[in-house]
Amino acid sequence: MHTIEIQTQAFSDQKPGTSGLRKKVKTFQLEHYLENFIQAIFNTLGDCSNQTLALGGDGRYFNREAIQIILKMAAANGIPRIIVGQGGILSTPAASVLIRKCKLDGGIILSASHNPGGPEDDFGVKFNIANGGPAPEKFTEQIFSHASVIKAYKIMDSDDIDIDTIGEYALQDMIVEVVDSVADYADLMEQLFDFDRIKALFESGMFTMAFDAMHAVTGPYAKEILERRLGAEPDTVMNGVPLVDFGGHHPDPNLAHAKQLVEKMNSASAPDLGAASDGDGDRNMILGPGIFITPSDSLAVIAANAHLLPGYASGLSGVARSMPTSMAVDKVAERLGIECYETPTGWKFFGNLLDAGRITMCGEESFGTGSDHAREKDGLWAVLFWLNLVAAKQKSVETIMHEHWQLYGRNYYCRYDYEAVDKTAAEQLVQDLRDQSAQLAGASYGDYRIMTCDDFRYSDPIDNSVSEHQGIRILFSNGARIILRLSGTGTVGATLRIYFERYESDSERLDRDADEILQPLIEIAKQITQLEKKLDRDQPSVIT
């Protein structure tokens, strides 16, 4: 067992996006590709001799092999200790909880989140810092700088470590501690929520639930918490065994990909609550019988009712949402008299606000919700919140949502995703819109008059860092919005996301069909952008 230095050449495509580096598995399997990026992380950390890190992932294809490579490289780079989730499994929120509980210096999370898995699909690597959250742009830019000029990496010439048995193992001078992947996370959830009240709900025999783990990482977490600790029926967790290819399905908890759950919740025998989580456990979808709760509405309901739950009984310091997320939570913040922050897309932008105590809860329209218990969005946390809320109010999901709309009004909202489009064409479409933004101000389209059009720019109120070009906003005089942005989570071509929002306060108009309400905005967006012609697409890939 000894350290060797391998000569290498830099790859030009190792710039981390909003959620780390995501590529096809075959790209990460290229000779030196993964190793170069991991060495760039260690080089960014600098002196590794006092660093203790967490390591784990969502169990997708190449997860176990990558962990063994990273362990050997960590030992060769002088890291004294690494904590690994048993079997190489750690949901993204559980990794954040582990980093924070054990006061680690950071962690390497192996995941491509909601992207498909398997030998022909996606893999990802990201680094989380000591607060448990994704590395900020300053850090990821340094990683890219090192990756761009790398000439060699260090690795141990040694046998693989047993990552399936809990215990401590030596790899040269480094200690590898394999821990229960679920226990710390489940214990924290028990502190935040009223497990006794939720357990009583299940024991009443009057309440049923379906949770679709989508053959992804949350299966073991959901089984432990929902079925063992809370007493839900043994078949409550669907698709609960993590598989390297997620059973051949797309592990994205939305109406398009969680078809089995959606069909169940729209059936005559629908459970009282339906929920799903994604590949790495940080996203969530909430459903009631025949009703889909949009992530934006879910964030607003959670913020409005946080005082009813043990972990948040003292109230909220503030809330935050990503810019494309609907403004439903803004109405709640206004009524509560607390600050509401608007940030770019990417959970890392919430980190400074959480660390500074400016906010307690935050969320994104892309099915992500969370609080200050971690520095990642947390799918199962959101599901437990809704469970606890139903138990506390003794009301159905549908009733809770409708009562919320009656009090705050309704933000009709949807998102169109145009996936795997030509990247150059998509970038040109956005640039064209940016160029004509000044001319659009004041233009009218039927009953809609554009008040302003801009490119969202964010100045962090904590560290004064500035993030430019975070999405085109078309804002109308009646409060409606159209947002366009290019997503950084895909691995093929580009994904253009378009968001549509219109607020309605008339109590007689709160149960209208969202498509009907938003159709004028959809037509305006097509007319302004000429996207059907420029992208050669007449329909979005996914509507959520």
Helices assigned H by DSSP within 179-322: 183-192, 195-203, 218-222, 259-265, 295-305
Burial of 162 (0-12, 13-18, 19+ CB in 10 A): exposed
DSSP sequence for 45-94: H--GGG-EEEEEE---TTHHHHHHHHHHHHHHTT--EEEEEEEEE--HHH
Q: Which residues pair with 292 in a beta bridge?
A: 287
514 within 8 A of 499, measured Cβ to Cβ:
no
Catalytically annotated residue among 19, 96, 113, 371: 113
- Which whole-number Å values give the CA distances from 460 to 17, 186, 370, 464, in the listed order? 19, 33, 19, 5
Helices assigned H by DSSP within 283-394: 295-305, 328-336, 348-355, 379-393
543: left (phi over 0), alpha (psi -120 to 50) or beta: beta
Gap between the Cα atoms of 241 and 475, Å rounded: 45
Is 113 among the catalytic positions? yes
Burial of 375 (0-12, 13-18, 19+ CB in 10 A): buried
Gap between the Cα atoms of 10 and 231, Å rounded: 52
198 within 8 A of 388, measured Cβ to Cβ:
yes
382 within 8 A of 218, measured Cβ to Cβ:
no
Gap between the Cα atoms of 50 and 48, Å rounded: 6
What's 258's DSSP letter? -
- Which whole-number Å values give the CA distances from 475 to 77, 443, 457, 471, in the listed order? 51, 11, 15, 12
What are 29's two structure tokens? 């399997």
Helices assigned H by DSSP within 306-378: 328-336, 348-355
Just list the catalytic residues.
Answer: 113
